Every structure is written in structure tokens, then in C-alpha cells.
Amino acid sequence: MRIILLGAPGAGKGTQARFLSELYHVPVISTGEMLREAVQSQSKLGLLVKSIMEKGALVSDGIMVDLIKERLKQKDCSSGYLLDGFPRTIPQAEALKENGIVVDYVINIHVHDEEIKKRLSGRRVHLASGRTYHNLYNPPKRPNIDDESGEPLVTRDDDALATVERRLRVYHEMSEPLIAYYRSCAKNNTPHPVYILLDGTKTIDGIRQQLTHSLK
């Protein structure tokens, strides 16, 4: 089972990625984690990545594809893999195809922007312990106060409404052409990959039921 997982920040990709990983016994390959592992490996490719990142430059599509090809040779990918965070653009998707990296399914977990804003901007955190709350879905007993310590809760920078809105704009600018590309492949009866659109506003179990039904 070889899958690309798409979805805006806050759509619940991480939760469903873990579910799919356990269900099909395949690794979740995150580009961020893959870059860190490459640097730590001290391989020739890893050292190249390290030098690029130290300069503050972006790792090219070609190098990213080489890293993915290297990662997919590992034993835990023998039954498949789940790509999270790559491709982000049509040239990256084309690069996967040109390099023989096969994908069976592209799964897009869709959630409307207003719901994403509610999910992310409502988060509150007790920094010392890592306990998390949500103003709507898991509120503390007293507004903005940790239940156990009585200390103030904070909004992380990533969860500030302005930051969430900016992240959503970036996501749409990058993802919408890519989604259109994969939908076009499906309409043209291209053998791989199959495009699947899921309703990310359902419960976690509801999304899992959609997944298992769609991937039969």
C-alpha cells in the first residue's frame, strides 16, 4: 500500500497517518524527519543536505526525490509507505513519477478553513507539563487556567489566528494545483494513483471508516 496523504494543518493527518501505518504495516515518511535522519546519517547525500540547510537554502526537488528513493530501499518499506509532506507541487509529483516512485492512492482529508481556524486557534497549552486544552472541545475548568497547577495557559505562536490564516493561505496556494493534478489523473483513468477525497469534519472513527471503505 503506497499512499500520499494531503490535508491542511489541523485536518487530522497525523492521527490518520498513524492509523494507516498500523493497519497496513507501512512507515510514515515525513519529509522533515527524513531530512533530519539524512543529516544524522553522515552519508554523502546527508552531508550535502546538511551543507544546504546550514546556508539557509531550500533543498531542491531532485535531492528530495533522491532522499525518498534512498529511504524507500529500507526494509520497513517492503510492504509500502505513506508520504506525508511530499509532493507539495506538480513538479515534485512529476519527479516522483519520472523516478519510478509508485503511488497507489492520494488521500485528501478536507476540512473547511473556518473549522481549521477553530481547531487550531482554540488550542491552549500549559508549557511546563505539555498539557493541552481547547476552548471549545476540551476546555479547562477555569478559562485559560491549567486544571492541575492553577498556572496560566498560553497560545503557542503557531496557533495564533493570524499565523493559522497565513499557513492556510500558503497551503492553498501550494496544494490546490497539486490536488487538481491528481484529480485530473483519476478522471483520465491513469492507473496510478487513485484520488480519494475524505470529509475531515467527521469523527476520528468516521474518517477511519471512510478510509477502510475507500482502500478496499
Active site residue 156: yes
Among candidate residues 18, 142, 156, 169, the one labeled active-site is 156
Provide, rounded to the nearest whole percent, the portion of the chain with pLDDT above 70. Answer: 97
C-alpha cell at 129: 507539563
Helix (H) or strand (E) holding 210: helix 204-214
How would DSSP label each residue in 157-186? GGGSHHHHHHHHHHHHHHHHHHHHHHHHHH
Residue 69 lies inside a defined structural domain of this protein: no
Residue 7 lies inside a defined structural domain of this protein: yes
Structural domain boundaries, residue 162:
2-26+79-214
| pLDDT given at position 46 | 85
Mean pLDDT of the chain, nearest integer: 90
Residue 46 lies inside a defined structural domain of this protein: no
Active site residue 88: yes
User: For 93-142, how does the pLDDT look when each residue is reduced to its tens digit (9 = 90+)?
Assistant: 999 989 999 999 999 999 999 999 999 999 999 999 999 999 988 999 99
Residue 189 lies inside a defined structural domain of this protein: yes
Residue 33 lies inside a defined structural domain of this protein: no
Among candidate residues 167, 183, 202, 208, the one labeled active-site is 167
Number of domains in the chain: 1
Residue 63 lies inside a defined structural domain of this protein: no
Q: What is the mean pLDDT of residues 173-184?
A: 90
Among candidate residues 118, 119, 123, 124, the one labeled active-site is 123
The answer to whether residues 38 and 45 touch, using CB atoms and an 8 Å cutoff, is: yes
Residue 208 lies inside a defined structural domain of this protein: yes
Residue 72 lies inside a defined structural domain of this protein: no
Q: What is the CATH number of the domain that holds 142?
A: 3.40.50.300
Residue 25 has φ and ψ, to the nearest 5°, of 55, 50
Among candidate residues 88, 97, 131, 202, the one labeled active-site is 88
